[in-house]
Amino acid sequence: MADYEVAIFAGGCFWCMVHPFDSFPGVVKVVSGYIGGHTVNPTYEEVCSHTTGHREAVEITFDPAVITFGELLNIFWRQIDPTDPGGQFFDRGDSYQTAVFYHSDDQRRMAQGSKDVLAQSGKFVKPIVTEILPAGPFYPAEDYHQNYYKTNAAHYQRYRAGSGRDRFIQTHWESPRA
């Protein structure tokens, strides 16, 4: 059995954050869920009410011998608008704010370092506001949210296109992955 690690990224709507990671060798599992709030085992409706403090996020179990945390960070940055403090694309509010949730000092240093490199790259005029936060309890979302891009493909594609995420990725990143 491999020594797997876990990465947690909040990148707005969790539906849009599963597919970019799911197809990479070394990614064992991607789970949609909630992190960062004060309610135990919150529901989607509770999180959407913006009263629990949770963010929608994905928990990625990966084999670091095949794909590194640094590579996952690179994928993450290319899925979001790291300059938006109010959410992501047309999803607004606390539950859609971006963050990297770290599990170790190494993950914290790598996340902060990648954020600093992005900030210094000149790619964005506005400051990078994505937070680097310690991971707390992660609560898997309801079953109907898991692998939404597969189970509700047509709705997922309309949502992505309509949200402005795909347009942003195409405009700001040289090789977008959707």
Structure-token pair, residue 22: 């799911």
Among left, alpha and beta (phi > 0; psi -120 to 50; other), residue 164 is: left
The pair of structure tokens assigned to 70 is 């640094």
pLDDT (tens, 9 = 90+) of the chain, 178 residues, equals: 569 999 999 999 999 999 999 989 999 999 999 999 999 999 999 999 999 999 999 999 999 999 999 999 999 999 999 999 999 999 999 999 999 999 999 999 999 999 999 999 988 999 999 999 999 999 999 999 999 999 999 999 999 889 999 989 888 885 434 3
Catalytic residue among 13, 17, 30, 169: 13
The structure tokens 């020594």 sit at 3
Q: What is the DSSP letter of 2?
A: -
pLDDT at 171: 87
| Residue 23: per-residue pLDDT | 87
53's CB contacts (< 8 A; 6+ apart) are 36, 37, 38, 39, 94
Is 16 among the catalytic positions? Answer: no
What fold is seen in the domain 5-172? Peptide Methionine Sulfoxide Reductase; Chain A (3.30.1060)
3-state secondary structure (DSSP) of residue 62: strand
Rounded CA separation 160/165 (Å): 6
